Amino acid sequence: MPDHLPAGHPPVATPKIGVLLLNLGTPDATDYWSVRRYLKEFLSDQRVIETPRWLWWPILNLIILSVRPQKSGANYARIWDKRTNESPLLVITREQAQNLGQRMAGDDVVVDYAMRYGNPSTASRIEALQKAGCQKILLVPLYPQYSATTTATANDKAFEALAKMRWQPAVRTAPAYFAEPAYIEALANSIRDGVAALDFEPDLVITSYHGMPREYLEKGDPYHCQCLKTTRLVREKLGWDESRIMVTFQSRFGRAEWLEPYTDETLKSLPSKGIKKIAILAPAFAADCIETLEEIAITGQEEFMHGGGERYAYIPCLNATAGGMDMLEQVVRKELQGWL
């Protein structure tokens, strides 16, 4: 197209395909106001908090946003990447995008990343991809298991940006990959290698997934079933007995009943049942973040050891490891069929 433009025509970029990795988000810093801005955007999302606005608004703005930013900021500070002065989630997601971009550079594919909450914003990166010549964009929510609170709201934000564009690119959304053979294999390998690297034999391996209000499951959200299926497929891939691995749910918020069993209560109670050596991982996260590095790797260990545990190990997310990137590339290439 650029070779056949009439005289005086504005420059036109060579047509390309864009891949936009979408993750949850992160505050820009650990101070009160940075964390408050992030939490306000996150907790104002009606996909995340379905409480009627008239009831939720005063609770959020008058109570939660007055006290929670200080506590959350302190937790972020415990795991903050001091080398880059950024959150680990941002550092890892950027590394995933850069790695995938290098792997797909020969296919005229431009890979970028964005956050549902915080920066870089989804709208800014869709605009950047279009300016780079991407007339087709694949949106890839980095959530193995689908939930309206994660995958759906990430896509919502992207379509909100598209609704304001005069010249929209063609768009595809990648589905959840909770049962994709490449994901199951990568996850199984990470567990096998993680356990083999320990200097103790775990009595139990826990797969801790981010929780959600039980009400969301009852309304039809498939997340719970997909979490259970992921762990079952991984267990079968490993050839393990059912008693060797279990599912729990973390990150409860508020007073409503959430998916059970709860990770924190499980960790506190296991030693009294004779299970004193465990390894734990968080398969719902594509990249390590505050929910894994602070809540599970640090606080979870404190809870387990305080309850009488003896050995505790956290197995990291797939992140930008070779196995994790092989999996992500396979998932993306599958969804790009017919475009490449």
The CA-based angle 338-182-89, given to 5 degrees, is: 95
DSSP-derived pairing of the beta strands 204-210 and 245-250: parallel
Q: Which amino acid is at 79?
A: I
The three-state secondary structure class of 305 is helix
With vertex at residue 95, the alpha carbon angle to CA 89 and CA 100, rounded to the nearest 5 degrees, is 125
Please, what sign has the CA dihedral across residues 236, 315, 313, 206? negative
Task: Mark 38-71 as b/e (b = at least 16 C-beta within 10 Å).
Answer: bbeebbbeebbbeeeeeebeeebeeebbeebbee
Rounded Cα distance, 210 and 96, in Å:
21
Beta bridge partners of 248: 208
Q: Is 185 within any annotated ligand binding site?
A: no
Provide the residue type at 32 as one letter: Y
Q: Is the dihedral of CA 134, 138, 141, 143 positive or negative?
A: negative
Tell me how far apart the alpha carbons of residues 298 and 294 are, in angstroms, rounded to a whole number: 5
4 is in an annotated binding site: no
- Residue 275 has which token pair? 């299970």
SS3 177: coil
Alpha-carbon gap, residue 94 to 112, rounded angstroms: 8
Cα 109 from Cα 107, distance rounded (Å): 5
Burial class (CB in 10 A: 0-12, 13-18, 19+), 208: buried
For residue 228, give the nearest of 242, 240, 215 by alpha carbon: 242
Query: Which residues make up each annotated binding site for Fe(2+)?
Result: 210, 291
Query: Which residues make up each annotated binding site?
Result: 210, 291
